[in-house]
Chains A and B, each alone.
Chain A
Amino acid sequence: MNALPTSFFGWVGFILEKYGTLFLSGVGITLLVAITGTVIGFAIGLLVAILRTIPVAPRAPWYRRLPLRALSALLNVYIEVFRGTPMIVQAMVIYYGCMYMGLRMPVLVAAVLIVSINTGAYMAEIVRGGIISVDKGQKEAACAIGMTHWQSMVHVVLPQAVRNIMPSIGNEFVVNIKDSSVLNVISVNELFFMSKSAAGTYLRYFEVFFITACIYLALTFTITRLLRVLERKMDGNTNYIIYGSQSDSKAAIVVPKEGGVPND
């Protein structure tokens, strides 16, 4: 610990040894904020999409149409505002705004809140796209057997919509891992914030942020792969069984998806 390193990799090794736990705790906070924010944002997106697609009967009385209109206008404002301003600005406004009104949030709570609301606005639009991708005949069929709007969305439309938008959801996740770094402006001690403090001591910005970049890349790469696996899980088994007769399930044969369907 007496002589300081002289080479680039010497510094990298030195910093890793000295600030390893700092980086790790930064990674922990970054993951925590990104995962919770994405999950909550996704839930917000689903809810907003369900609310925005409530059908309005043209012959319905005004006291039923008006609240729906107001709700939909409100949701549009929400989406426009949060998609139309940078998250770094939203963080400042929300955090200091709350403080201004006498509400002192723990920064971690504020961080999750901001990422969730911000992600929710994007997710709402992504989910809307997913709903459009599901042919509307299925929604009508669900309605025709008496399902409510909520039931048909939850059991028929959204499961398919979500499968179709998995790539975009993954995108949001990756964006959140990276963009949670802007939360350093309200002193959330995520990975970027931790890196800054590590770099400050010996003024080794290049070496430290080289490490930081590698960590971000490792995180996003892992997440993308995991989501791919999840997608494949969602597609499920491509084989199915044809039961030879109802009483004799041993007569069942397995038909691969591409194998064509034999006649019974």
Chain B
Amino acid sequence: MTDESAPILRVSGLQKRFGEHEVLRGISFDVHQGDVVSIIGASGSGKSTLLRCINFLEQPTDGAILFHGRNAETEWNRAQYHAKVGMVFQSFNLFANMSVLKNCVSGQVRVLRRDRREAEEKALFYLDKVGMAPYRDARPAQLSGGQKQRVAIARALAMDPEVLLFDEPTSALDPEMVGEVLSVMRELAASGLTMLVVTHEMAFARDVSRRVIFMDEGVIAEEGAPEEIFVRPNQPRTREFLSRVLGA
């Protein structure tokens, strides 16, 4: 029995140091089933490091990640945890040696041990969802940035994740391609997927997410519903950041 109010993901006292440099200085928050949480903050405030620690691409220096109440580092099989907590990168990171379809199939086959036919069906389902099914035979190098990112999202979805982490998914895109990726993300949010999104798209943070976390110098400076953060921020540094990014 899972408690309705139990968080699916709990970040607790997370710290990360690179040598002397303290990048995360005690981060704690909960993510519940179906939550869409935006993480905003100045460049260098530790947002990427936070996501990378949640996904163990970086080893946290201290603190814990709890997934369904169990310690993700010690009580979860690493491959299983990775399959359930997916990640979409700023730089897409598609496998350059594989076709679009194979990109979405290989993880399912290798990690989840799915039958290849079943995996291809699932891959095509999600590629269709992001509008990339017609390009199934293309190589990543033959796609535009927006198309690559949509494939990367399909690749993550094909693993049937419970939580998807996005690290500035539109920051590397030409302006005219930002929309196509954001609209896919909007649909995902509406479909009830649990998402943790680092973003500079304030409109997305305001309109789509349920909760906004503002990070500053390795701590959560302020956290709340979008209307609180964007309309009535408590902290001076939040106000300062917002006035800077929203343009005076």
Chain A interface residues toward B at CB < 8 A: 57-59, 134-135, 137-138, 140-148, 151, 155-156, 159-160, 163, 240-246, 255, 257, 261, 264
Contacts and interface: CB of A to CB of B under 8 A. Distances in A.
19 contacts: A58-B59, A59-B59, A137-B89, A138-B93, A140-B89, A140-B93, A141-B93, A144-B86, A145-B155, A145-B159, A146-B82, A146-B83, A146-B112, A151-B110, A159-B97, A163-B97, A240-B137, A261-B143, A261-B144
Given A142-B95, A155-B110, 9 more contacts: A134-B96, A135-B93, A138-B93, A146-B111, A147-B107, A155-B106, A159-B97, A160-B97, A243-B134
Contacts, number: 99
Interface string B79-117: 111110011010111111111000000110011100000
From DSSP, what is the main secondary structure of chain A's interface residues? Answer: mixed
Interface string B134-177: 11111100111001000010011001000000000000000000
A148 B79 contact: yes
Contacts of B79: 146-148
Nearest to A244: B134
A243 B143 CA distance: 15
Nearest to B132: A264
B63 to A, nearest CB: 12
A141 B94 contact: yes
Contacts of B135: 240, 242, 264
Interface of B: 55, 57, 59, 78-83, 86-87, 89, 91-99, 106-107, 110-112, 124, 128, 131, 133-139, 142-144, 147, 152, 155-156, 159
Nearest to B124: A246
Given A58-B59, A140-B57, A145 B83 contact: yes
A144 B58 CA distance: 11
A264 B87 contact: no
Nearest to B102: A155
Nearest to A264: B134
The 3 closest A-B pairs by CB, nearest first: A146-B82, A141-B93, A137-B93
A134 to B, nearest CB: 8
Nearest to A55: B59
Given A145-B86, A156-B95, A240 B131 contact: no
A264 B138 contact: no
B72 to A, nearest CB: 13
Contacts of B91: 137
B153 to A, nearest CB: 12
B130 to A, nearest CB: 11
A264 B110 CA distance: 31
Contacts of B83: 145-146
Nearest to A58: B59
A146 B97 contact: no
A185 B4 CA distance: 78
A58 B92 CA distance: 27
Nearest to B83: A146
A141 B59 CA distance: 16
A243 B120 CA distance: 16
Contacts of B144: 261
A159 B97 CA distance: 7
A211 B151 CA distance: 58
Contact of A138 (B80, B96, B111, B112): B96
A135 B128 CA distance: 28
B142 A261 contact: yes
B59 A57 contact: yes
A244 B124 CA distance: 14
A62 to B, nearest CB: 16
A162 to B, nearest CB: 10
